A and B are shown apart, each in its own frame.
Chain A
Amino acid sequence: MLTLLIKIGQATLAILYQCGHIALFLGDALRHAIRPPWYGRQLINQFIQIGYFSLPVVGLTAIFTGMVLALQSYTGFSRFSAESAVATVVVLSMTRELGPVLAGLMVAGRIGAAMAAEIGTMRVTEQIDALSMLSTNPIKYLVVPRIIAGMTMLPLLVIVADIIGVMGGYSVGVYKLGFNAANYLDQTWRYLEVKDILSGLIKATCFGLIISLMGCYHGYHSNRGAEGVGRATTNAVVSASILILFVNYALTILLFEK
């Protein structure tokens, strides 16, 4: 019994320690973000890495999600002849929840892992030490551009995901379920509010921060050797994914509960 309590205590302390450590890391990054020099080329590189190269993954996820949403909500709603709600359900679920969450999870897998692996390898091969030896602050050079790019690119990706997701729902609705095209689009627009889209974008910004912060943090503090980098990568993806789901719920309450 006592050992169990000790274990629980140790685990709690470890988690708190980690939270504090991550907060300090973020504070460090923010402090460096507002002070020159800034590394424009690194930032543009990250824009391209996170924004452009994630497009296929995010697009594919969105289109299939939109399609299956239309299909499933049709099955449900047709049982009490409310088929006309299909378009509304698709657009609201995409913009409010599925767009940001699925884009976030996919980008966490793609980018979070890559960040942790890259920075972790740089740590293990002493490239991070070499950076500071060559008068370059590694937080400024490696972490800040990634966090800024993550926070700005994810909302843009979510806009794309929203549009493609609605298009997926539309194509299934019109070509498979036999909706009238004009009606479907009208239903899509009618109940959609700016707030629905905006809330999704706010979520996306937070998810972008979570993904890049977790990727950078775990990579930066990676242990020696290939195993250390492997563990950093796993931790980055797992912690980012869990945090995204958790923060998504918290933000939904914050943004929509009156």
Chain B
Amino acid sequence: MSSTPVIQVKNLKKQFGNKIVLDELDIEVSAGESCVIIGSSGSGKSVLIKSILGMLPFDSGKIWINGEDTSLLSLNQRQELLNQVGMLFQGGALFDSMTVAENVAFGLVQGIGMAKNKAREIALEKLKAVDLSPAVADIFPAELSGGMQKRVALARAIATNPKIIFFDEPTTGLDPIVSGTINDLIIRCVRDLGASAITITHDINSLRKIADKVGLLFKGKLVWTGSVADMDKTNNPYVHQFINGLPNGPFTEVL
């Protein structure tokens, strides 16, 4: 923890009506670290990511990215910051009116203003990086299988060589084998880029593969943080219930 953390969140609070979704949440991710946040559905995982990215306004608290307070950024500065951030959306969120190559090149052309030919070259390269052949470049996302769409989405997320990558449930809805390959690709891509990653998931297998640091989110709070190795040793009742998928425990008691 020598340098400033890439992402730092302090006292983040978010409420929808009367429901507190994030409750004074603190989190820190340092450079090159892969932080995985787990928690049951509706525990505020997506809200957390969207708040960090500025897609959702939060009620109170502070978020720093690369040491800069995001609430003080102008629209242009925020845009610049987003150019260094990639995100893999849960459903892929590929633009279905564009071909695979156009999808991957989108951030390069629109965000950085790269020429189309050059962007296409990089897009093909990135497709190769996620083990897709150039043959898929000119078809539309709807013609691909779920696993392949995820790969294209991953290629799009890493196209601009971002320094920070967010993964929103990268393996949800995929079979175990495809999940495995996606996990491997995530590890490889993040490592190749030297990027920091924040992943939200409830897939324990995926977590064991990709995480350096784990945070367990419950009722808007991180009830436990630690490494994967710690996770198996701890006697924290939340962690114990979650990773073993037990029907009885603190998660189900309070509901």
Q: Which chain A residues have a beta carbon within 8 Å of chain B's beta carbons?
A: 122, 125-127, 129-136
Of the candidates B82, B89, B94, the one whose C-beta lies within 8 Å of that of A135 is: B82
A sample of 25 cross-chain residue pairs with beta-carbon separation below 8 angstroms, ordered by A number, consists of A122-B95, A126-B89, A126-B90, A126-B91, A127-B94, A127-B95, A129-B55, A129-B89, A129-B93, A130-B87, A130-B89, A130-B93, A130-B95, A132-B55, A133-B53, A133-B82, A133-B85, A133-B86, A133-B87, A134-B110, A134-B156, A135-B79, A136-B106, A136-B110, A136-B111
Q: Which chain B residues have a beta carbon within 8 Å of chain A's beta carbons?
A: 50, 53, 55, 79, 82-83, 85-87, 89-91, 93-96, 106-107, 110-112, 156
Instruction: Name which residue of chain B comes closest to A122, CB basis.
Output: B95
Chain B residues within an 8 Å CB radius of A130: 87, 89, 93-95
Given contacts A132-B55, A133-B53, A135-B83, whether A127 and B93 have CB atoms under 8 Å apart is yes
CA distance A129 to B93 in the complex (A): 8
Instruction: Name which residue of chain A comes closest to B53, CB basis.
Output: A133
B93, A126: Cβ atoms closer than 8 Å: yes
CA distance A221 to B86 in the complex (A): 24
Chain A residues within an 8 Å CB radius of B107: 133-135
B91, A125: Cβ atoms closer than 8 Å: yes
CA distance A125 to B96 in the complex (A): 10
B111, A135: Cβ atoms closer than 8 Å: yes
Chain B residues within an 8 Å CB radius of A136: 106, 110-111
Instruction: Name which residue of chain B comes closest to A141, CB basis.
Output: B110
CA distance A199 to B53 in the complex (A): 48
Shortest distance between the CB of A221 and any CB in chain B (Å): 15
Instruction: Name which residue of chain A comes closest to B112, CB basis.
Output: A135
CA distance A125 to B93 in the complex (A): 6
Instruction: Name which residue of chain A comes closest to B50, CB basis.
Output: A129
Chain B residues within an 8 Å CB radius of A127: 93-96
CA distance A200 to B110 in the complex (A): 39
Instruction: Name which residue of chain B comes closest to A134, CB basis.
Output: B107
CA distance A129 to B86 in the complex (A): 12
Instruction: Name which residue of chain B comes closest to A129, CB basis.
Output: B55
Between A122, A125, A135, A136, the greatest number of chain B beta carbons within 10 A of the residue's beta carbon is seen for A135
Instruction: Name which residue of chain B comes closest to A128, CB basis.
Output: B93
B89, A134: Cβ atoms closer than 8 Å: no
Between A122, A125, A127, A133, the greatest number of chain B beta carbons within 10 A of the residue's beta carbon is seen for A133
Chain A residues within an 8 Å CB radius of B55: 129, 132
CA distance A71 to B185 in the complex (A): 71
CA distance A122 to B85 in the complex (A): 21
